[in-house]
Structure 1
């Protein structure tokens, strides 16, 4: 067997693994040594040509170049479309606790959006008027007062503010607090399905592999409250055609909601300032104690 044969290849792997043996942090040592073993095993399995390997390096370089400090995070998008984000989510939430199911964070969150009043409208662009309301509860059924719901969604054109510079700052984004009874109310528009961005390396990967880029309509939530674990989740429109083919594998049956139509003479229309008909979805979130 030549030096390029299997024994030499495996000896190289163990040589690289051994270089991390003195890593002071035990967890970092585990992460790095396992990464080397699995990455080397992948390379031995697929036996890439040098041209293919340089193409992979170029792909990762371009993925990083598509990222910015505010809106676009192409590496999160890559993790999402490979199912890694949902696998990490599953590993970190293996055991049923009675809390609301989690799902992916997504690449288009913007920190520091305006704090809005109970029932305040966060939609500054056209769409089907909607009201989303419910309660935030503990696993033993008690209301969580002063919980902070950080909410974001796309406009009717399928793009997020920040991603779409034509949208007003903070459009379809806001932070809402629950009242003393754990109730929240958000005035917005009905979410729409949309394709994830395909103008970068992740889009080229999807096109090359014959995959569709569509995500089902959803509303993002990140909910925080004192003495409770942070909840990152979505609410999905239950009649959306892409629920079974979400490009980022984020759909969970417990997170589906029904937007029901209401007329202008509904009491909620008066309470929340709707001038005509609107659609309403209700959902109670359950937080796990920290």
Structure 2
């Protein structure tokens, strides 16, 4: 990339560039769908404004095409590099902010991430999502309510996370499913399950997005977190995480800008021999526990 200061733009050049923008914007005037017309014309204006602002060179344009092509080539049914790119540019969090307006104490949303998988197994209340993934056991419990404080029975709660080495099951080579499951809140809106104490980990950085982060001197590491997606009838779907209070990575910075203060929770460490909430005994092993009470906004808010 060049750092040379661009030469002044002549009035004649300004007119040529303005005319091109107007022509491309006008090409969408006949779009039958008003929303699609709005999106395409706004995209055109902003894209051309970016090109003109940085005075993009032909070499840089070619490099951008090569980069996007590489993002497409590495994307498959188990890895979504375009979501990753959106995440590290903050576009995912901005879209979430626009589409999840604050409402009467509803739980904050955050990034979906590239590692969600459909058809995760169902576990009973108090079940274990680990499925053989390694890590410190962690008891998670809480309630699901609406913004008026009414318990939400039968809410579907999808949870997924990485193992203690920072890998999700989709990154394993044996196609097994681990550290993910779904469960349902009980008649009082309560839920509980065993998971793993979250750890920081790098987003996949062996592809084009990782090379971009390296080029700009940014870390690929995410703050420790556990993913949730909660759905219930007539309520807004919530996609969020909880983060570990005291995790140094929160101060350093989350690579996808997903941390919100309201989502930082205490993961209280439990000494070996401490009885577990479900009446078990983990013997000589430490474990942790955390509480996450979920508040869902009405659908359409």
Q: What TM-score bracket applies, with the shorter chain setting the length?
A: over 0.9
Q: Map of 1:127-166 to 2, 5 A cutoff?
A: 127-166=135-174
Question: 1:4: how far off?
Answer: 7.3
Question: 1:272: how far off?
Answer: 5.2
Query: Which blocks of at least 5 consecutive residues in structure 2 are unaligned?
Result: 1-8
Instruction: Please give the alpha-carbon distance, in whole angstroms, between the structure 2 residues aligned to 1:269 and 1:134.
Output: 13
Instruction: Please give the alpha-carbon distance, in whole angstroms, between the structure 2 residues aligned to 1:108 and 1:171.
Output: 12
Matching of residue 284 in structure 1 with residue 293 in structure 2: yes
Instruction: Please give the alpha-carbon distance, in whole angstroms, between the structure 2 residues aligned to 1:272 and 1:180.
Output: 24
The equivalent of 1:53 in structure 2 is 61
Question: 1:10: how far off?
Answer: 1.0
**Matched position secondary structure for 2:199:** coil
Instruction: Please give the alpha-carbon distance, in whole angstroms, between the structure 1 residues aligned to 2:38 and 2:278.
Output: 59
CA contact (8 A) 2:103 2:297 kept: no
The equivalent of 1:118 in structure 2 is 125
The equivalent of 2:238 in structure 1 is 231
The equivalent of 2:3 in structure 1 is none
Change (3 A) 1:270 1:13: closer
Query: Which blocks of at least 5 consecutive residues in structure 1 are unaligned?
Result: none
Pick from 247, 257, 265 the counterpart of residue 255 of structure 2: 247
RMSD over aligned Cα, in angstroms?
1.8
Instruction: Please give the alpha-carbon distance, in whole angstroms, between the structure 1 residues aligned to 2:152 and 2:264.
Output: 22
Aligned length, in residue pairs: 288
CA contact (8 A) 1:108 1:163 kept: no
The equivalent of 2:212 in structure 1 is 205
Question: 1:97: how far off?
Answer: 2.8
**Matched position secondary structure for 2:65:** helix
Q: Map of 1:259-274 to 2, 5 A cutoff?
A: 259-263=267-271, 265-268=273-276, 270-271=278-279, 274=282
CA contact (8 A) 1:119 1:272 kept: no
